[in-house]
Amino acid sequence: MLFKNTLAQSSSVFVGYLFSFILAPIMIARLGLDAFGVWAVTGAFATYAGLLDLGISRALARFVAVYDVEGDERRMRECVGLGLIAITVVGVLAAGVAVALAPVLSDQLGVLSTADMRWVSLAAVGIWTFNGYDRTFAAIGIGKREMVPPNVAITVNVTINFVFSLIALALSSSLVVYGYANAAASAGGLLPTFLAMRYVWRAPYIALPSRQVVKDVLSFSLKSQVGWIADLVNFQTDKIIIAVVIDVRAAAAYEIASRVVMAVRSAAVMTVSAMITHAAAEITTAGREVIGGMYKRYLLRSCGLSFPLFALVAVSAPFLLIAWLGEAPGDSALIVPFLTLAYVINITTGAGSTIAMGAGHPGLVSVNAIIVAALNVALTIVLAGPFGLWGVVGGTFIAVSFGGLWFNARFLRLFKLPLRDYLAGTLPTGVLAFGLAIPLAIFTIAVGTPSDRLTAILCLAGVTIAYALPYWLIATRRGFLPRQLEFRPFRPDEQVEGVT
């Protein structure tokens, strides 16, 4: 079930990033790089407004899983009610903030008029609000560990958004039109997500939250919220600082690079995406003694799947960007591998952080996130002035790498696990993934940046095949992959105990 749910979670994310990659060059061609940068910065501000929901919408699935194991359907319905109330209140407040900040953003960015900036900001708030309702409805299927229906609905939603975006770009070169086409698509996407909730559950679906449910969810969500803040700081704040300190075109170049890095990181996170609800249910049922075995299994498998993604993108960045956009704006060809490698250490926290969340220890993740966020802000502010864009990138690299190492040390200490469990999951997979990438990195440097898309596509395909095939065969033989993804003729006679 875990593999099926992880695959379901991954598929919807992959489709979303595929459409995002297709849209980016079309947006730049139709709207211009400046407007693309404004959309990135506006989206960052709207995402920050989402902090006002106190992390409730992201915590619901974990509580649905616990209440489902306990057979408490009333509290599951209260979770849905709490999520809808929180998102609605935040949406209204964020809309007021968007209206108030429009003149400031218009003056600072210098691309849109105040009126247009106001409309674009309100569209971004609308998109966030409708997506929040989607997360609330999807929490039921995810919490019940029936993740295929909600992720099918999410796939339908991103497809609707993609179609609306293409129509808007075909009809107009206005960012306002594009923004409201996305908002309309997000509103229309509520129906598939609601139907998916109906498929896995029975009416009534919503109840007013009791004081106890509000207290339980908030005590958890406020701590887990900090982890999400760290992601905002590491990506969204960087774009804002770049736009203010340097210019909006530099922010657009950073946005392009960060989209690639976020896609890779999200794909890597998907290797443990279904774990929180499964871990919460399993620990509730069997107790904390199952944590050691879960950690060893999930860490090895998550690193076995994520490390090659990071390595491949790092060595093929120039080919990827040219194949995608036809050019590599600014320093994006260098930013992509630099930020990608920064998240290699960070992704090793995935198994530990999801187990900690499932075990009811969000504070472990939160404290680490506070350190990473504070360090990143401090380094970015200090380094952005003298070093410009590369100061921001370097600050992010240092903060994220340090945070990953520090979290893993604290996780092992909290659950009394030996360091060898961490090393057994990361070293063999890391040596294989990055060892195979070395000759391909030399090839990429020797070839340089392709001058046209066709050459870039051929180089990208060649590097991908030359890397993926030997990694797949060797990783299968060494037992680094889930059985469902192994190349069967190379499957070892004995599998790692407990791994599926």
Q: Cα dihedral angle (200, 202, 204, 206), rounded to 10 degrees?
A: -10
At 12-70, the pLDDT tens digits run: 667 777 787 788 788 888 888 788 778 777 766 666 665 666 677 777 887 888 888 88
The pLDDT assigned to 260 comes to 73
Distances 134 to 2, 121, 137 between C-alpha atoms, Å: 22, 20, 5
497: pLDDT strictly greater than 50: no
Half-sphere exposure of residue 334: CA atoms within 13 angstroms, side-chain side:
6
432: pLDDT strictly greater than 90: yes
The pLDDT assigned to 275 comes to 53
Distances 272 to 2, 180, 297, 430 between C-alpha atoms, Å: 9, 34, 11, 17
368: pLDDT strictly greater than 80: no
Question: Can you tell me which residue has the tokens 């509580």?
Answer: 63
Angle, vertex CA 87, rays to CA 82 and CA 90, nearest 5:
125
The closest of 40, 4, 31, 101 to 332, measured between CA atoms, is 40
Identify whether the C-beta of residue 346 lies closer than 8 Å to the C-beta of residue 231.
no
The residues near 265 (Cβ < 8 Å, ≥ 6 apart) are 343, 346, 347
Kindly report which listed range (61-65, 147-151, 238-242) carries the lowest average pLDDT score.
Answer: 238-242
Identify whether the C-beta of residue 308 lies closer than 8 Å to the C-beta of residue 44.
no
130: pLDDT strictly greater than 70: yes
Q: Where is pLDDT greater, at 482 or 409?
A: 409
439: pLDDT strictly greater than 90: yes
| Rounded Cα–Cα distance for residues 50 and 27 (Å) | 25
Angle, vertex CA 277, rays to CA 276 and CA 279, nearest 5:
65
At 427, is the pLDDT very low, low, confident or very high (cuts 50, 70, 90)?
Answer: very high
Q: Where is pLDDT greater, at 373 or 157?
A: 157
458: pLDDT strictly greater than 90: yes
431: pLDDT strictly greater than 90: yes
At 283, is the pLDDT very low, low, confident or very high (cuts 50, 70, 90)?
Answer: low
At 188-230, the pLDDT tens digits run: 888 998 998 888 888 788 888 888 888 888 777 766 666 556 6
The pLDDT assigned to 500 comes to 40
At 236, is the pLDDT very low, low, confident or very high (cuts 50, 70, 90)?
Answer: low
249: pLDDT strictly greater than 90: no
Question: Can you tell me which residue has the tokens 């871990």?
Answer: 279
Report residue 371 as tokens: 């350190």
Report the pLDDT averaged over residues 329-342: 78
Mean pLDDT estimate for the chain: 80
At 499, is the pLDDT very low, low, confident or very high (cuts 50, 70, 90)?
Answer: very low
The residues near 496 (Cβ < 8 Å, ≥ 6 apart) are 297, 300, 479
Q: What percent of the chain has pLDDT over 70?
A: 79
The alpha-carbon radius of gyration of the chain (Å, integer) is 22
SS (H, E, C) the chain: CHHHHHHHHHHHHHHHHHHHHHHHHHHHHHHCHHHHHHHHHHHHHHHHHHHHHCCHHHHHHHHHHHHHHHCCHHHHHHHHHHHHHHHHHHHHHHHHHHHHHHHHHHHHHCCCCHHHHHHHHHHHHHHHHHHHHHHHHHHHHHHCCCCHHHHHHHHHHHHHHHHHHHHHHHHCCCHHHHHHHHHHHHHHCHHHHHHHHHHHCCCCCCCCCCHHHHHHHHHHHHHHHHHHHHHHHHHHHHHHHHHHHCCHHHHHHHHHHHHHHHHHHHHHHHHHCCHHHHHHHHHHHHCHHHHHHHHHHHHHHHHHHHHHHHHHHHHHHHHHHHHHHCCCCCCHHHHHHHHHHHHHHHHCCHHHHHHHHHCCCHHHHHHHHHHHHHHHHHHHHHHHHHHCHHHHHHHHHHHHHHHHHHHHHHHHHHCCCCHHHHHHHHHHHHHHHHHHHHHHHHHHHHHCCCCCHHHHHHHHHHHHHHHHHHHHHHHHHHCCCCHHHCCHHHCCCCCCCCCC
Which pTM was predicted? 0.61
The pLDDT assigned to 342 comes to 78
Kindly report which listed range (69-83, 128-142, 225-239, 250-264) carries the lowest average pLDDT score.
Answer: 225-239
Distances 54 to 35, 66, 380 between C-alpha atoms, Å: 31, 20, 25
| Rounded Cα–Cα distance for residues 297 and 414 (Å) | 18
Identify whether the C-beta of residue 80 lies closer than 8 Å to the C-beta of residue 137.
yes
Report the pLDDT averaged over residues 316-343: 80
